[in-house]
Chains A and B, each alone.
Chain A
């Protein structure tokens, strides 16, 4: 009896091993099935919103920007965007305190024509990816505090109280019923998402114009249709309210006064 079981030992061990190997191969079978590409007979024309993707290489290029070189390059931007990054014309964006990633992405999109602007597309032609990173480093360092010496359009007229309450509700709480997330959950100061610029010191006219362009599809360089989906849900009145509120310097964020 004892002798017999000893003789059967190695063979039953091999059987166990075989069973284990079979069990281990089950996941491999599943992984092949899951990752098999879906056959498609007809692909729609691929629309790429922006050539920029937040990969490691992109982030390395942006973070290696040299702010001093940016200061020298920025002399070309001063005429419209102001000496200290605050524009004197409310339709032009303020660049002081701008997020590096969003600045760089917009410059690349102007260059590749993914974002259209008769003025900026021509200017962005003259800046390489490295120049844009330098400018981004410079503008992200500029303070957003007020300066009485400077001619800036920034804190604009106070909004109508009824529109202001509409704006603060959207900025702080959003509207869950319609799928509108709060502005401050991506544009700060509560949390930031890659490529979302801070809005606390942005001009009202510029903001409203961009929201309109996002909602009617004139501007479509946002990655994965994020901003277009949100702007489409907002009513025209709400787009005005939010822009006015930020433009009056009331928006949550870095102190502007």
Chain B
């Protein structure tokens, strides 16, 4: 009896471990997909919610922390050029409008996965200033190899603090 329960518990633990690290082809925990209506619908990102085009880019939260919102889509990252200060924790929130994409900030240790119907959130601190390329690392279609964004890390004193409601990118407007 005891042995049987132990076996069931073991199998459940292994199952949970698998579910919590990778789900189907997406290396994201399964509960990223259990948003229950709160997760953004990839088809209607531009209509409402936090990923409307006027809300993309770096923004300051009420607590004073910096959040960068991005969309990955076939075959561009939006915004294509993002600017953040060095030495400050920056929270990235990213979702995909179609396929699964994966981006890494080339030259740093950081990377992110973007899946449709899920928001991936991570907080990074970029130690040194510089320009980094953001290539797509997950095959997402015919133009995958030309899918590339840019990250500009500027020294902290050069990054003027954001006004409430201001969204900053380094794209020419």
Question: Which residues B1-38 have CB closer than 8 A to chain A?
Answer: 1-2, 5-6, 8-9, 12-13, 16, 19-20, 29-32, 34-36, 38
Interface residues of A (CB under 8 A from B): 9, 12-13, 16, 19-20, 23-24, 26-28, 30-31, 34-35, 37-51, 53-55, 173-182, 184-186, 190-191, 193, 217, 223-226, 229-230, 232-233
Give the shortest distance, in Å, between A194 (CB) and chain B (any CB). 8
The interface residues of chain A lying within 8 Å CB-to-CB of B143 are 174, 181-182, 185-186, 191
Query: At the interface with chain A, which of B48-56, B104-112, B152-160?
Result: B48-56
A54 touches B43 (CB 8 A): yes
B20 touches A27 (CB 8 A): yes
A177 touches B148 (CB 8 A): yes
Which of A42, A179, A225 has the largest count of B CB atoms less than 10 A from its CB?
A: A179
The count of residues in chain B whose C-beta lies closer than 8 Å to any C-beta of chain A is 66
The interface residues of chain B lying within 8 Å CB-to-CB of A226 are 73, 76, 78
Give the shortest distance, in Å, between A123 (CB) and chain B (any CB). 25
Q: Whole-angstrom distance between the alpha carbons of A70 and B123 in the complex?
A: 53
The interface residues of chain B lying within 8 Å CB-to-CB of A232 are 80, 171-172
Which of B19, B52, B164, B166 has the largest count of A CB atoms less than 10 A from its CB?
A: B52
The interface residues of chain A lying within 8 Å CB-to-CB of B46 are 48-50, 53, 223-224
B45 touches A224 (CB 8 A): yes
The interface residues of chain A lying within 8 Å CB-to-CB of B44 are 53, 55
The interface residues of chain B lying within 8 Å CB-to-CB of A41 are 62, 164
The interface residues of chain B lying within 8 Å CB-to-CB of A174 are 143, 146
- Closest chain A residue, CB of each to CB of B167: A44
A181 touches B67 (CB 8 A): no
- Closest chain B residue, CB of each to CB of A41: B62
B30 touches A44 (CB 8 A): no
B16 touches A23 (CB 8 A): yes
Interface residues of B (CB under 8 A from A): 1-2, 5-6, 8-9, 12-13, 16, 19-20, 29-32, 34-36, 38-39, 41, 43-48, 50, 52-56, 61-62, 67, 71, 73-80, 93, 97-98, 119, 121, 141-143, 145-150, 164-167, 171-173
- Closest chain A residue, CB of each to CB of B16: A23
What 5 pairs between A and B have smallest CB-CB spacing? Answer: A185-B143, A181-B143, A181-B75, A185-B142, A174-B146
B12 touches A230 (CB 8 A): no
Q: Whole-angstrom distance between the alpha carbons of A191 and B156 in the complex?
A: 43
Which of B34, B44, B48 has the largest count of A CB atoms less than 10 A from its CB?
A: B34
A179-B76 CB under 8 A given contacts A23-B16, A27-B20:
yes
A39 touches B61 (CB 8 A): yes
A229 touches B80 (CB 8 A): yes
A179 touches B16 (CB 8 A): no
A184-B142 CB under 8 A given contacts A38-B61, A225-B79:
yes
Which of A30, A34, A37 has the largest count of B CB atoms less than 10 A from its CB?
A: A34
Give the shortest distance, in Å, between A33 (CB) and chain B (any CB). 9
Q: Whole-angstrom distance between the alpha carbons of A38 and B59 in the complex?
A: 12
A35 touches B38 (CB 8 A): yes
